[in-house]
Amino acid sequence: MDAYKQEFIEFMVKSDVLKFGNFTLKSGRKSPFFMNAGAYVTGEQLMQLGRYYAQAIYNTYGLEFDVVFGPAYKGIPLSVITCIALHELYGKEARYCSNRKEAKDHGADAGMLLGSELKDGDRVIIVEDVTTSGKSIDETYPILMAAANVEVKGLMVSLNRMEVGKGGVKYALDEVSEKYGFPTAAIVDMAEVTEHLYNKECMGRVVINDELKAAIDAYYEMYGAK
């Protein structure tokens, strides 16, 4: 596993973004882990997060793109910090763009988008925190296509939960890729998280012990890809 992936896993734990225990998800599933990207709140955390996204995008998709698009709401700051980190780490000038939940009907920036305008021929990388069902892509992809004749080069999320999407067979990220025809990836997936944290200390404690590992395995027996 790449060093930046290991660092990112520990970063999620230290930032209290990735938690383990008993959680009820929006889907109604009972999960032994939960990720909340809204817990990244400090300047240092956001700076580091942008760097991890930039590294993962560079390693997966390269730098041949023009726009980083973040679906509202959590994707808005993600697109901004990723553009900053791309410039810092690779000298890459990318424009940020996000959608609004409600169209703005006044001013020079009226419409559904904020940040950069989209132009015909723009190559776009989409950034999200996590994809469980693909619902946000279903909402925002038509907005992208209506704005201009753009090409989506790929989607990058921070964590692949590695559970089935709406179809009940494939990973949610794979469903998105199959439906819309662009590649999808994550900085890390839950298999890598489990591998790195199982019976190892992080912040002076073992994060995933035998009991929690058994709960994670049981969860994937029920909700993992078939």
106 catalytically annotated: yes
DSSP 3-state of 41: coil
**Which of these is catalytic: 14, 104, 119, 200?**
104
Q: How far apart are CA 13 and CA 167, in angstroms?
A: 30
Residue 198, preceding peptide bond in cis (omega within 30° of 0)? no
Please name which of 32, 3, 15 lies closest in space to residue 208, comparing C-alpha atoms: 32
Q: How far apart are CA 43 and CA 75, in angstroms?
A: 17
Residue 217 one-letter amino acid: D
Residues 6+ apart with CB under 8 A from 218: none
Token pair listed for 46: 């956001």
- Residues 11, 48 contacting (CB under 8 angstroms): yes
Q: How far apart are CA 194 and CA 191, in angstroms?
A: 5
DSSP 69-112: EE-TTTHHHHHHHHHHHHHHHH----EEEEEEEEEE-SSTT-EE
104 catalytically annotated: yes
Which amino acids are annotated catalytic? Answer: 104, 106
